[in-house]
């Protein structure tokens, strides 16, 4: 479970194994950006996401991803 709150774009779905290579911050960013693009989210909005996601540490990145898209770790990691 990432958050109890509905993400901004719940139809944009990302599922990654954070304990493997997909857990690399650049892979996470790329997967979320791809999901946002597929959903037709504007470039301006994606820049806003990237600014927020890159503004802190890895935990912040995962938290922001959960706020923006339907983000589920494959291995059951809990992200606060």
Reading the chain (80 residues) residue by residue, the pLDDT tens digits are 444 589 999 999 999 988 888 889 999 999 999 999 999 999 999 999 999 999 999 999 999 999 999 988 776 655 54
Domain locations in the chain?
Answer: 9-73
Looking at residue 73, its pLDDT comes to 79
DSSP class of 7: P
Looking at residue 74, its pLDDT comes to 79
Looking at residue 29, its pLDDT comes to 97
Task: Output the CA–CA distances (angstroms, integers) from residue 56 to 6, 31, 60, 61, in the order listed.
Answer: 22, 18, 5, 7
Task: Output the CA–CA distances (angstroms, integers) from residue 43 to 3, 12, 13, 46, in the order listed.
Answer: 25, 15, 18, 5
Looking at residue 2, its pLDDT comes to 45
């Amino acid at each position: 479970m990432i958050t109890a709150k509905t993400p901004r774009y719940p139809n944009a779905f990302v599922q990654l194994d954070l304990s493997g290579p997909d857990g690399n911050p650049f892979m996470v960013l790329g997967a979320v950006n791809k999901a946002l693009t597929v959903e037709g989210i504007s470039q301006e909005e994606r820049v806003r996401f990237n600014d927020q996601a890159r503004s802190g540490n890895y935990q912040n990145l995962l938290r922001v991803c959960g706020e923006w898209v339907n983000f589920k770790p494959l291995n059951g990691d809990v992200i606060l």
